[in-house]
Chain A
Amino acid sequence: MSADLLHASAEAIGRSVVAKERSAAEVAEFFLGRASRTAERLGTYLHRDPERTLDAARAVDRRIAAGETLSPLAGVPVALKDNLCTRGVPTTCGSRILEGYRPPYDAHVVERLREAGAVSTGKTNCDEFAMGSSTENSGYFPTRNPWDLDRVPGGSSGGSAATVAAREAPLALGSDTGGSVRQPAAFCGVVGLKPTYGAVSRYGLVAFASSLDQIGPFARNARDTALLFNAISGRDARDSTSRAEAKPVMLDEVERGAGGLRIGLPRDLIGEGLDPEIGAALDRVARSLEGAGARVLDVSLPHAKYSIATYYLIAPAEASSNLARYDGVRYGIRKPGRDLIDMYGATRGAGFGREVRRRILLGTYALSAGYYDAYYLRAMKVRTLIRKDFSDALARCDAILLPTTPTPAFRLGEKVDDPLAMYLNDIFSIPASLAGVPALSFPAGFSKSALPIGLQLVGRPFEEATLLRIARAWESIEDVTDRVPPLVEDGARA
């Protein structure tokens, strides 16, 4: 049974729970057991409450016993990134400024998952307020890559990606603003989806950059990703930016194969600096999809090379405003001060880490009088150019195939002292965020040093199904979803 659960897809687990072949409580116990052996070493969780998880699982079992029809995710454990509000459960966003904070309400996606019968395994570690690409910016501790404990899992949703890779949970939710779901998915060898902006309600997602943030699923394969996406997507009246166009991904659509699809390769974006193994993986995947009946063509994204500069003006600007509410007045920590302004400074100085403070300064600067036009406004205009590049390219193909990251996972501490070097890692993930289009990272194999390699698909708005279909087609050619991180497996036997 435990071997089954170790390798079972979320879909299979859900089906077996609904068929009463196993109880939700058994499933929860299994995954809680795994996490109890690995979570501390990996640093995947900021908060776990095994009793609460089991209670939730038992509640699902009661609903099934009562004859209630539940979703495909019934009894399936899902980890939640710690920037998702969970009522009565600590939500710190990886920051000291919210140490001990328990929201009095649940995020929309948390409500949806509970309704669906999914079971939360806890709150996963992340870069502070989702700002970072390695989870080293967490105010608490770093998360380690399950494939190599000296390497980063990626960020900002490092904990969520790692917990799925390490099989502490079959599914997880993260958030993606400039790549924070896709990049850790690539580093950890799992599937990570950034939905179309507006497809998933942001109500209850602690805001980093409001015009870019999206909650996204992690899973080990395309079908599971679709199921989790379906469980959380759709219009929510509490989020004015959430869209009615979001529709569920049908599994039979995901199974349609790559035949007849046009896949674009943006050669002008893929230049030097790309790890040759990732370049090779890209070619291999492109050829395999061609073999499966897809047509591969060149597309151009001429302004995509300005994405990082654009993003690192827009995102910090919005963040500087979104983080103004952390002032020690109504929640979170408060450091004493002579007067109010003193209190603000002391609280925010103590509560925010270096990266967050850097971005608040950068963002405030970009919005300040005399600089707004040259920085923020200009960046918003370049964003329009980038959006147009994507809609032009996606008129000629059904999906764009490109790397997720320039390199596989780097070492802990390697880039933490050079913020700009860290930012430059996002060159492939940021463009789709700026355009608001859906983007998916899927496992494409392993490097010679046994590190996962992920590749990315970008599609038209609300066409997540197409991306998952291509990823599934690749899975049926070369299945890399079943390898278990060896280090973790060793640990698990102890």
Chain B
Amino acid sequence: MSIDPNAVHHVAKLGRLTIDPSEEPRLLSELASILAYVEQLQSLDVSGIEPTSQVGAGTKTPLREDRVVPCDVRDEALEAAPDRDGDYFRVPRVV
């Protein structure tokens, strides 16, 4: 099973990943083999089966009281920023 390179490029864009042309052939073949492997799931009959997205579903939903909890990480967090402008995080322009 081979995989459409355009599909992979599209998916890379969605995931904000760049694919180096030198690694592209290898990557395509690896993805193709993995996808071929997972195809085996198509042979199973899953009609009427509920999907499990959380094994804990069904337990009482934990809810938090609406209360302000002071937090002091602000300075540490801004210091960790790769680029900042005073109180703000700074990034290259969006477009």
A374 to B46 alpha-carbon distance, docked (Å): 11
Taking CB atoms and an 8 Å cut-off, the chain A residues in 398-421 that contact chain B are: 419-420
> Which of A54-62, A152-160, A254-262, A377-385 is found at the contact surface with chain B?
A377-385
Q: Which residues of the other chain, B, contact A420 by a CB distance below 8 angstroms? A: 30, 33-34, 37
B62 contacts the other chain (Cβ, under 8 Å)?
Answer: yes
Asked if B95 is an interface residue, CB under 8 A from chain A, the answer is yes
Taken together as a complex, chains A and B put the C-alpha atoms of A332 and B81 apart, in Å, by 8
Contacts of A360 in B (CB 8 A): 15, 17
Complex CA–CA separation, A27 to B14 (angstroms): 51
- Kindly state whether residue B53 has any CB partner on chain A within 8 Å: yes
Contact B16 A327 (CB under 8 A): yes
A436 to B56, CA, bound (A): 9
Q: Which of A197, A348, A379, A382 contacts B56 (CB 8 A)?
A: A197
Shortest B82–chain A CB gap in Å is 4
Taking CB atoms, residues of chain A closer than 8 Å to B59 are 243
A334: interface (CB < 8 Å):
yes
CB within 8 Å for A380 and B51 given contacts A334-B82, A334-B83: yes
A362 within 8 A of B: yes
Q: Mark A325-352, 1 if CB is under 8 A from B, else 0.
A: 0011111111011111111111011001
Is B42 a contact partner of A240 (Cβ separation < 8 A)?
no
Q: How far is the CA of A418 from the CA of B53 in the complex (A)?
A: 29
- Interface residues in B52-81 by Cβ distance below 8 A to A read 52-56, 59, 61-62, 64, 73, 76-77, 80-81
Q: Does A7 belong to the interface (CB within 8 Å)?
A: no
A339 in contact with B17 (CB, 8 Å): no
Which residue in chain B gives the minimum CB-CB distance to A344? Answer: B16
Q: Which one, B42, B54, B81, B83, contacts A374 given CB within 8 A?
A: B42
B17 touches A330 (CB 8 A): no
- Asked whether A331 lies within 8 Å of B56 as measured between CB atoms, the reply is no
| A380 adjacent to B82 (CB under 8 Å) | no
A309 proximity list for chain B (CB < 8 A)? 37-41
Closest B residue, CB atoms, query A376: B51
User: Within the assembled complex, what's the spacing in Å between the Cα atoms of A313 and B31?
Assistant: 12
**Interface of A: prevailing SS:** helix
| Residues in chain B near residue A365, CB distance under 8 A | 7-8, 11, 31, 35
- Judge whether B30 and A340 touch: CB under 8 Å: no
What B residues does A348 contact at CB under 8 A?
15-18
The interface residues of chain A lying within 8 Å CB-to-CB of B86 are none
A312 touches B46 (CB 8 A): no
Residues 357 to 400 of chain A near chain B (Cβ within 8 Å):
357-358, 360-362, 364-365, 368, 374-375, 377-385, 387
A426 to B12, CA, bound (A): 27
Known contacts A197-B56, A237-B64, A337-B92; decide if A377 and B51 are in contact (CB<8 Å): yes
Least Cβ distance of A188 to chain B in Å? Answer: 28
Q: Which residue of A lies closest to B76 (CB)?
A: A104
A166 CB-CB contact with B under 8 Å: no
Q: Contact flags (1/0) for B8-32 with A, using CB distance below 8 Å?
A: 1011101111101001000100110
Contact in complex: A382, B44 (CB < 8 Å)? yes
Q: A37: CB under 8 A from chain B?
A: no
Cβ–Cβ contact A104 & B52, under 8 A = no
Q: Give A421 Cβ to nearest chain B Cβ, in Å.
A: 10
Q: B18 contacts which chain A residues (CB < 8 A)? A: 345-346, 348-349
Give residues 429-454 of A contacting B (CB, 8 Å): 435-436
Contact A198 B56 (CB under 8 A): yes
A358: contacting residue among B30, B40, B50, B91, CB under 8 A = B30
Q: Which residues of B contact A336 (CB under 8 A)?
A: 92
A310–B37 Cα distance when bound, in Å, is 10
Contact of B17 among A329, A338, A357 (CB under 8 A): A357
Which 5 residue pairs are nearest across A and B when measured between Cβ atoms?
A380-B51, A436-B55, A334-B82, A104-B76, A104-B73
Q: What are 18 A-B contacts with C-beta separation under 8 Å?
A: A104-B77, A306-B44, A309-B40, A312-B37, A337-B92, A340-B94, A348-B15, A348-B18, A352-B17, A361-B11, A361-B15, A362-B34, A378-B41, A380-B52, A381-B52, A384-B49, A420-B34, A423-B37
Q: A105-B73, A340-B93 are in contact. List 16 more A-B contacts (CB 8 A).
A: A198-B55, A309-B39, A337-B92, A340-B94, A340-B95, A343-B91, A345-B16, A357-B27, A365-B8, A378-B46, A379-B38, A379-B41, A381-B46, A383-B51, A435-B55, A436-B56
